[in-house]
Amino acid sequence: MNPSFNSFHLSRRALLRAVGLGGVAWLSPLTHMLGQAQEKEASQAAAKSVIILWLAGGPSQLETFDPHPGKKIADGTGAIKTSVKGVEIAEGLPQVAEVMEELTLVRSMVSQEGDHERGTYNLKTGYRPDPTMVHPSIGSVICNELPVDGVDIPRHVSILPGQWPARGGHLGAGLDAFKVYDTLGRAGDMTARVEPARQKNRLAGLKRVEDAFARGRRTDLDKKTTLHNATIQRALDMMNSKQLGVFDVSKAPARTREAFGDSNFGRGCLAAVQLVGAGVRCVEVTLGGWDTHINNHEGQATKNAILDPAFAALIRELRARKLLDETIVICAGEFGRTPKINGLGGRDHWPKGFSLALAGGGFRGGHVHGATDPEGVKEEPKDPAKVADLHATVMHLLGIDHKKEYKNLPFDRFGTLSEGNVIKGLLKNI
Partner 1 sequence: MVELLEDQLPVAIGSVGIRPIEANHLAVAYSPLYICFLDGYVSFGHWATATMKALEKIVSPLGQRNLLFAAACILGLSVVFSNLLQSDAVTPPRNHSVERYQNPEFRDVVERLDAEFVARWEKEGLEPAPPADELTRIRRLSLGLTGTIPSLQEIRAFEEARVFHAGNQPPPNDHIQWWLSHLFEDRRTSDYLAERFARVYVGVENGPFLFYRRRRFVSWLSDQFHDNQPYDKVVSSLITAEGLWTSNPEVNFFTVTIDENDKKNKNKPDEVKLAVRMTRAFLGVRLDCVQCHDDRLNDRWLQKDFHQLASFFSGADMRSSGVRETGKSYEYKYRGAPQGEVPKKVPFFPELLPESGEPRERLAAWVTDRENRAFARAAVNRIWALMFGRPLVDPIDEIPLEDTLENPYPPGLETLVDDFIAHDFDLQRLIRVIAATRVFGLDSKVSEDRVPLTEKHDQHWAAFALSRLRPEQVAGSIIQAASLTAIDADSHILFRMARVFQQGDFIKRYGDVGADEFYALGGTISQRLLMMNGELVHERIKDDLVSNAAARILATAPDDEAVVEAAYLAVLSRRPTREEVQYFAGLLAQKKGRSRKDNQEDLYWTLLNSTEFSWNH
Mark residue 283 as left, alpha or beta (left: phi above 0; alpha: psi -120 to 50; beta: remaining).
beta
Stretch that binds partner 1, among 85-93, 138-146, 217-225, 282-290 (CB under 8 A): 217-225
- B/e letters for 250-276, b = 16+ CB within 10 Å, e = fewer, are eebeeeebebbbebbbbbbbbbbbbbb
Region from 16-24, 228-236, 240-248, 257-265 binding partner 1, contact rule CB under 8 A: 228-236
List the one residue from 210, 325, 373, 419 that touches partner 1 (CB under 8 A). Answer: 210
| Min separation Cβ 29 and partner 1, Å | 26
Q: How many residues bind partner 1 (CB under 8 A)?
A: 65
Distance CA 385, CA 421 (A): 10
Min CB(394)–partner 1 separation in Å: 24
Per-residue contact track with partner 1, 334 to 373, x per CB under 8 A?
--------------xx------------------------
Could you say which residues in the range 176-195 bind partner 1, by CB under 8 A? 176, 178-179, 181, 188-194
Contact 115, 331 (CB under 8 A): no
Task: Choose, by CB under 8 A, the member of 14, 45, 197, 254 that binds partner 1.
Answer: 197
Residue 5 contacts partner 1 per CB under 8 A: yes
Question: Does residue 225 bind partner 1 (CB under 8 A)?
Answer: yes
Minimal distance, residue 7 CB to partner 1, in Å: 7
Instruction: Provide the β-strand partners of residue 105.
Output: 357, 368
The residue among 72 and 340 lying less far from partner 1, judged by its C-beta, is: 340
Tell me which of 72, 81, 218, 321 binds partner 1, using CB under 8 A: 218
Q: Which is nearer to partner 1, 121 or 260 (CB)?
A: 121
Cβ of residue 217: shortest distance to partner 1, in angstroms? 5
Q: In the complex, what is the shortest distance from the CB of residue 37 to partner 1, in angstroms, rounded to a whole number?
A: 35
User: Which positions from 377 through 416 interact with partner 1, judged by CB under 8 A?
Assistant: 411
What character string, x for contact with partner 1 (CB under 8 A) and - otherwise, covers 136-165?
A: ------------------x-----------
Q: Which of 19, 30, 206, 294 binds partner 1 (CB under 8 A)?
A: 206
Q: Of 14, 45, 212, 254, which lies in the binding site for partner 1, with binding defined by CB under 8 A?
A: 212
Residues 6+ positions from 369 with CB-CB distance below 8 Å: 104, 105, 106, 107, 108, 383, 385, 423, 425, 426
Contact (CB, 8 A) for 370 and 92 = no
Looking at the Cβ atoms of 57 and 365, the one nearer to partner 1 is 57
Residue 88, CB-side half-sphere exposure with 13 Å CA sphere: 12
Q: Which of 146, 221, 305, 409 binds partner 1 (CB under 8 A)?
A: 221
Strands 88-90 and 79-81 turn out to be: antiparallel
Q: Name the residue nearer to partner 1 (CB basis): 38 or 231.
A: 231
**Within 102-131, which residues bind partner 1 (CB under 8 A)?**
114-115, 117, 131
- Find out whether 70 and 306 touch, Cβ atoms under 8 Å: no
The residues of the shown chain that bind partner 1, judged by CB under 8 A, are: 1-9, 12, 114-115, 117, 131-132, 134, 154, 172-174, 176, 178-179, 181, 188-194, 197-198, 201-202, 205-206, 208-210, 212-213, 215-222, 224-229, 231-232, 234-235, 238-239, 348-349, 411
